[in-house]
Amino acid sequence: MNVEIKDGKYGFGIFDSGKTFPNQKLTKKHTVENYEIEFYTEPCGTTYVNGEPCKIRPGRVLCVKPGTERYSELPLRSHYLKVSPTGSEIDRVLDGILEKFISEKIDKYTSAIHEMLSAESRSDKLLCHAKFLEIIALLAEDSRRQAQIRTLAGGGRDAVSRGLDYIEEHFAERCTLEDIAAYAHFSPVYFHGIFKKAIGKTPNEYLSELRIEKAKGMLLIENMDIASIAAAVGFSSQSYFNYAFKASVGKTPSEYRERSLEKYFSYDGKIH
């Protein structure tokens, strides 16, 4: 399916070379005109990007940029997005995505493609566009994280990746350095060092920033008092939540919520 949007056009779907090219072993060499983003859930053939082989295996994400020369050894099966370049903000984001990486979130990408296909059958372009933007945002975050982790040796990469997963799954609970390091199978002191080297923040700093980001969303959309939100995102007390939030955002949680309401109820005719 192709969807027209303000910033251009994109297509999406599931590609299976066994159905499309049943008797073909190699695709023609061609120069890519669009952003070709592919998500693989099973081992299959090899694709060549500017002459460099990329063996396909489960979890592989491939983001080929316009102007790249490409061909593939078949069979190949993938979920895909193709995005036309328009000089928009989406182009800027896609230009910054790693060309290839292994993602532990591959199911999130493929589920979003399935939802887009389902929306297509109902002619629901709004949902298609929402899921498209969700994939672009996930790609940006996933790629940034992978780039940081790549600075480490193999064992360190695995440990930091496991640590990030633990933090993201348990941020609302009591989450200590010892807990995170144990999940990553390293001592707290060693894990603290490799995490900071890869991410640029200590595990505690990363955890605090994640909790605050979650709280910002809840302050805007949830009808909950400040103390309840503090508890829901893992802060031990409202007073410490207020302190950490203001240090990070420059406003207290109440000020942040009130300022957002002021923007909504502005009657000067302007969009703030």
DSSP summary character for residue 122: T
What are the distances in angstroms from CA 15 to CA 40, 44, 99, 120? 10, 12, 19, 16
Judged against a pLDDT cut of 60, whether residue 4 lies above it is answered with: no
User: CATH fold of 2-149, please?
Assistant: Jelly Rolls (2.60.120)
186-193's contacts with Cβ under 8 Å and 24+ in sequence apart are 186/159, 191/159, 191/163
Q: How many CB atoms lie within 10 A of CB 53?
A: 9
Q: Rounded to an integer, what distance in angstroms lies between the CA atom of residue 79 and that of residue 77?
A: 7
Q: Rounded to an integer, what distance in angstroms lies between the CA atom of residue 43 and that of residue 164?
A: 26
Higher pLDDT among residues 5 and 254, named by residue: 254
Q: Rounded to an integer, what distance in angstroms lies between the CA atom of residue 63 and that of residue 229?
A: 38
Which residues neighbour 157 within 8 Å (Cβ) at sequence distance 6 or greater? 149, 150, 198
What pTM was computed for the model? Answer: 0.67
Judged against a pLDDT cut of 60, whether residue 266 lies above it is answered with: no
The pLDDT confidence band at residue 11, using thresholds 50, 70 and 90, is very high
Q: Rounded to an integer, what distance in angstroms lies between the CA atom of residue 39 and that of residue 102?
A: 10
Domain boundaries along the sequence of the chain: 2-149, 151-200, 204-272
* Site of tokens 């078949």: 74
Comparing C-alpha atoms, which of 190, 105, 185 is closest to residue 145?
105
Percent of the chain topping pLDDT 70: 92
Residue 264: the pLDDT is 56
Residue 22: the pLDDT is 85
Among 91-100, 129-138, 246-255, 263-272, which stretch is predicted with the lowest mean pLDDT? 263-272
Among 28-42, 59-73, 156-170, 230-244, which stretch is predicted with the lowest mean pLDDT? 156-170
Is domain 204-272 annotated with CATH 1.10.10.60? Answer: yes
The pLDDT confidence band at residue 149, using thresholds 50, 70 and 90, is confident
pLDDT tens by residue, 181-236: 999 999 999 999 999 888 888 999 999 999 998 998 888 888 899 999 999 999 99
Task: Please state the φ and ψ torsions of residue 184, each to the nearest 5 degrees.
Answer: -85, -5
Judged against a pLDDT cut of 60, whether residue 265 lies above it is answered with: no
Judged against a pLDDT cut of 70, whether residue 139 lies above it is answered with: yes
Residue 153: the pLDDT is 65
β-sheet bridge partners, residue 69 = 31
Judged against a pLDDT cut of 60, whether residue 269 lies above it is answered with: no
Q: Rounded to an integer, what distance in angstroms lies between the CA atom of residue 145 and that of residue 41?
A: 20
Residue 20: the pLDDT is 84
Judged against a pLDDT cut of 70, whether residue 271 lies above it is answered with: no
